[in-house]
Structure 1
Amino acid sequence: MILRHVTVDCADPYRLATFWSAVTEWPLSSIDEPGDDEVLIEAPAPVPGLLFIRVPEPKTVKNRVHFDWMPTTRTRDEEVERIIGFGASLHEDHRTPDGRGWVTLTDPEGNEFCVERGQAERADG
């Protein structure tokens, strides 16, 4: 079996997919446009795509599943600032004085996700 997509229920698929496209630097599907009920971000193989689907009900509780992201070309702190610049909000800060830890952000529709230390930071200890 292959995991093809991770699906996110949302109010505005195009808006949320555009946010996540900026965060991941993965492209939106060329067939998707504003107003669509389903919008796909095409991840590089073999990573599953992110599929955003319109639902009528709003998000009301903490996510049962969330993304944990690890930067590949930036530090955790650089990545957090970059993502906040796209419209994310700081939810919880779990960074520690020794440089470890993570930051929990929320996307524009309130879905929680984490940003961990980057690959270079992990290699440095």
Structure 2
Amino acid sequence: MTPGTLAAMASTLLNICIDSSDNYALVTWWSEVFGLPLDPDNKPGEEETWIELPNGTTIIFNRVPEPKAVKNRVHICLQPDIPRDEEVERLLGRGATLVGDLREPDGTGWAVLADPEGNEFCVLRSAAERAATEG
């Protein structure tokens, strides 16, 4: 394959789907995480709810009957606008749980949290924190 053909075969991430037993409660929780208003078309009892991120990517929450049973094979990584540790505390206060603490004494690393239904996600350092240690 030549470099010119690579672009013609590229894909764009359109959406990410997350299974949920109460997708309306979960979309409401994640809308608060992202600081985005809940789309008025999202209603309790619907099979599918969603959040559209400012970059055009949509996170879809599908209602399923079975509970989460094992570790996620795919997860979301968040880069907060505020310092990482402040964001971790904010999310813990909103009902997230700490699954793994991979933060290092020098300020690097990340925290693995789970949403109210147990879906894991990471909270990375903010852009300002990264710039302060990488420059």
TM bin, normalised by shorter chain, reads over 0.9
What is residue 117 of structure 1 aligned with on the other side?
125
Tell me whether 1:31 sits opposite 2:41 in the alignment: yes
Matches of residues 79-118 of structure 1 in structure 2 within 5 Å?
79-118=87-126
TM-aligned CA deviation for residue 55 of structure 1: 0.7
1:88–1:105 CA contact under 8 A, matched in 2:
yes
Q: Larger RCO: Structure 1 or Structure 2 (Cα < 8 Å, ≥ 6 residues apart)? A: 1
Aligned-pair CA distance for 1:36: 1.8
Which of residues 5, 11, 16 in structure 1 aligns to 2:21? 11
Larger radius of gyration: 2
Tell me how far 1:119 sits from its aligned partner. 0.7
Structure 2, gaps ≥5 residues long: 1-10
Asked whether the 8 Å contact 1:27–1:43 carries over to 2, the reply is: no
Contact 1:11 1:56 (8 Å CA) reproduced: yes
- More displaced 10-residue stretch of structure 1: 115-124 or 34-43: 34-43
What is the aligned counterpart of 1:65 among 66, 74, 79?
A: 74
Amino acid at match of 2:125: R
Give the number of aligned pairs.
123
RMSD: 1.1
More deviation in 33-42 or 63-72? 33-42
- Relative to its length, the structure with more helix (as a share) is 2
TM-score for the superposition, normalised by structure 2? 0.86
Identity of aligned residues (%): 52
